[in-house]
Amino acid sequence: MAWFNRQKPGVEAPPDEGGRKVRTEGLWEKCGHCDQIIWRKTLEEAMQVCPKCEYHFRIDARTRLALLFDNGEYEEHDEKLGSTDPLKFVDSKPYAERLAAMRRATALPDALISASGTMNGRRVNICAMELKFIGGSMGAVMGEQITRAIERSARERVPLVIVSASGGARMQEGAVSLMQLAKISAALMKLDEAKVPYISVMTDPTTGGVTASFAMLGDLNIAEPGALIGFAGPRVIEQTIRQKLPEGFQTSEFLLQHGFLDAVVKRSDLKEFLCRAFDLLMN
Amino acid sequence: MPDEQPQPTQTAPSNPAWERVQLARHPKRPHALDYIQRIFTGFMELHGDRAFADDAAIVAGFGKFDDRPVAVIAQQKGRDTKQKLHRNFGMPKPEGYRKAMRIMRLAEKFSRPIITFLDTPGAYPGIDAEERGQAEAIAVSLREMSRLEVPVVSVVIGEGGSGGALGLGVANRVYMLENAYYSVITPESCAAIIYRDSGEAARAAAALRLTAQDLLGLGLIDAVIPEPPGGAQLDYDATAAAIQQTLRGALDALRPMNAASLVEDRYNKFRQMGNLFLSQEAG
Count of other CB atoms within 10 angstroms of residue A97:
11
- CA dist A207 to A232, B67, B81, B106, Å? 7, 44, 31, 31
**Chain B positions in Cβ-Cβ contact with residue A174 (cut-off 8 Å):** 183-184, 208-210, 214, 218
Q: Does A194 touch chain B (CB under 8 A)?
A: no
State the SS3 of A169-202.
Answer: ECHHHHHHHHHHHHHHHHHHHHHHHCCCCEEEEE
**Chain B positions in Cβ-Cβ contact with residue A81 (cut-off 8 Å):** 277-280
- Give domain limits for chain B: 16-266
DSSP string, B243-259: HHHHHHHHHHHHTTS-H
What ipTM is given for this predicted complex? 0.93
pLDDT at A243: 81
B68-83 confidence digits (pLDDT tens): 999 999 999 999 999 9
Instruction: List, in order of start, the domains of chain A with CATH numbers.
Output: 59-281 (3.90.226.10)
Q: Which of residues 110-129 of B touch A (CB under 8 A)?
A: 123, 125-127, 129
Query: Least CA distance to A236: which residue of chain B?
Result: B125
Whose CA is closest to B204, among B188, B184, B181? B188
B186-236 confidence digits (pLDDT tens): 999 999 888 888 778 999 999 999 999 999 999 999 999 999 999 999 999
pLDDT at B194: 83
Query: Least CA distance to A87: which residue of chain B?
Result: B209
Whose CA is closest to A199, among A167, A162, A240, A151? A162
Q: Would the pTM count as exceeding 0.90?
A: yes
pLDDT at A238: 87
Q: How many whole angstroms separate alpha carbon B226 and alpha carbon B242?
A: 7
Closest approach of B147 to chain A, Cα-based (Å): 7
Beta bridge partners of B225: B177
- Is the domain spanning B16-266 CATH 3.90.226.10? The answer is yes
**Chain B positions in Cβ-Cβ contact with residue A175 (cut-off 8 Å):** 182-184, 208-210, 214-215, 218, 220
Least confident of A154-163, A227-236, B76-85, B154-163: A227-236
pLDDT above 70 coverage of chain B, percent: 93
Q: How many whole angstroms separate alpha carbon B40 and alpha carbon B229?
A: 24
Write phi, then psi, for B201 (nearest 5 degrees): -55, -35
> Do B105 and B142 contact (CB within 8 A), yes or no?
no
